A and B are shown apart, each in its own frame.
Chain A
Amino acid sequence: DQQVKQNSPSLSVQEGRISILNCDYTNSMFDYFLWYKKYPAEGPTFLISISSIKDKNEDGRFTVFLNKSAKHLSLHIVPSQPGDSAVYFCAASAGDMRFGAGTRLTVKP
């Protein structure tokens, strides 16, 4: 039973536009949420995180939004760049980390 779900396996956007990646979770005990980015032949790397006491965290072009009542978080990338093309994993933690299935983002020039 997956506690963290990314329902879109892939997303394609044009360079310069906004990319929105979504994630839903079921465990109300999760209190910390993260996004990881993975390029082929490499391990995932940490991108951005948010604590459950916040509803938004911004780092440059990347913003994560958390809606606790809906158990939903999203990652916004503005503007999207071709180098952002990768698989993005949503993760949630209540001590131990649980990951979603990933969304493959393709940013077209």
Chain B
Amino acid sequence: DVKVTQSSRYLVKRTGEKVFLECVQDMDHENMFWYRQDPGLGLRLIYFSYDVKMKEKGDIPEGYSVSREKKERFSLILESASTNQTSMYLCASSLIREKLFFGSGTQLSVL
């Protein structure tokens, strides 16, 4: 059974904190993605990676960075959290680029 695991279901942080969102997949997928989901805006692509140590910016990379040291793990980093980064964050992986498997999401609140 395929699985994408996000380390936290809910997270509350303060403005200015450094935040790490972790994602692990057990399917040996090459491709991994980070999206955020906001009402009325759908899923917006933040960063993606097609290989270890490789990363590419999506549509809204500002304020975020990523790390992919191992094939199975893709981390999203908020260097200095701000209130407009309060959102649902979804990690996904894929073998074929188009068919994504998503984690359950992390609801991040920045106060």
Measured CB to CB, the residues of A under 8 A from B are 2, 4, 6, 9, 32, 34, 36, 41-46, 49, 89, 91, 93, 95-102
B58's nearest neighbour on chain A, judged by CB, is A96
A-B contact count (CB 8 A): 56
Q: Which residues of B contact A46 (CB under 8 A)?
A: 99-101
A95 touches B97 (CB 8 A): yes
Give B residues with C-beta under 8 Å from A: 4, 33, 35, 40-45, 48, 58-59, 90, 92, 97-105
23 of the cross-chain contacts (CB-CB < 8 Å) are: A4-B42, A34-B99, A36-B100, A41-B104, A41-B105, A43-B4, A43-B92, A43-B102, A43-B104, A44-B43, A44-B100, A89-B43, A95-B97, A96-B97, A97-B33, A97-B98, A98-B45, A98-B59, A99-B44, A100-B42, A101-B40, A101-B42, A102-B42
The minimal Cβ–Cβ distance linking B54 to chain A, given in whole angstroms, is 14
Expressed in whole angstroms, the Cα–Cα distance for A96 and B57 within the complex equals 11
Complex interface: chain B residues within 8 A of A41 (CB): 104-105
Q: Would A44 and B90 be within 8 Å (CB), given that A89-B43, A97-B45, A100-B42 are in contact?
A: yes
- Whether A99 and B90, one on each chain, are in contact in the complex, defined by CB atoms closer than 8 angstroms, is no
Q: A89-B42, A93-B97 are in contact. Are A99 and B104 (CB under 8 A)?
A: no
Contacts A43-B90, A44-B100, A93-B97 given; 12 further ones with Cβ under 8 A? A2-B41, A4-B42, A34-B99, A36-B100, A41-B104, A45-B102, A96-B97, A97-B33, A97-B45, A98-B59, A101-B42, A102-B42
